[in-house]
Amino acid sequence: MKTIYFICIILFSITIQGQNNKEIIQDKRQIEISKAQLDRDIKEFEQFKSQCLTFRNFINNQNFIAAKKSKNVLLKSMNREIAQTEIKTKRARVEISQSNQEIKTDQREKRRNRRQYTGSQDDKNDIIRDRINTRDDRRDRKDDINDYEELKNRLRYQTSLTHQLKNASIINSNQIDYTNIYKETLLKFIKTMEQDIKGTRKELKEDRKEKREDKRERRDDRQERQEKY
């Protein structure tokens, strides 16, 4: 009977170690992705603002042929931004799935610890660690869901603004028409890019925090296995 018990412990430890290794890879990759996204977002944000100023100057100088070409440049940048937001939205859904998996792992550990509970101090420490891990992972999942909803809303808004610019006519010196294009479309799109940068910074901060939490959980797992043996 003891042999079977120790075999189960060993198999569970192997499973946990595999999950821990997977988390290490996920944490490192997610931080790398967020860093690269932030650098790219800032660069493209500054580029888009410059393109908007170029477009405005062409309109002010009544160079409408050049303004039409500038409009196409803006549309290309906006469509690129939309494509990137789509990718971020899909990635956010994956992060929700990963958070769900971590919570399932927490639940398995809690059930195992309850079955093996004897009232010892080590067992009480295990229960406390389980509660902390579950609390942290549920908070991370809530953050992931909020990020996903924000990205979905941003994607819809960016798509709507892009359609507005695409359908705008640039055929004369109507300054009111230009003002509407700039204020009602371009400036609002710039705002979405600012929100995107803010969101990426927040995501990077959350990634680093999750990495620290996962590291603490792995330390707790090692300590728990040592206590069991």
Average pLDDT over residues 55-64: 86
Model pLDDT for residues 151-202, shown as the tens digit of each residue: 999 999 999 999 999 988 766 655 556 667 877 899 999 999 999 999 889 8
Name the one residue in this structure whose structure tokens are 């009111």.
Answer: 176
Residues whose CB is less than 8 angstroms from the CB of residue 77 and which lie 6 or more positions away in sequence, other chains included: 44, 47, 48, 51
- What average pLDDT does the structure give for the chain? 81
What does pTM read for this prediction? 0.72
Q: How far is CA 224 from the centre of its chain?
A: 31
| Distance of alpha carbon 66 from alpha carbon 72, whole angstroms | 10
Q: Give the per-residue pLDDT at 152.
A: 96
Model pLDDT for residues 202-217, shown as the tens digit of each residue: 888 878 877 787 777 6
Name the one residue in this structure whose structure tokens are 């803010």.
Answer: 198
* Core vs surface per residue 60-98: b (16+ CB within 10 A) or e: eeeeeebbeebbeebeebbeebbebbeebbebbeebbeb
Residue 222 has pLDDT above 60, yes or no: yes
Task: Look up residue 214 and give its two tokens.
Answer: 């996962």
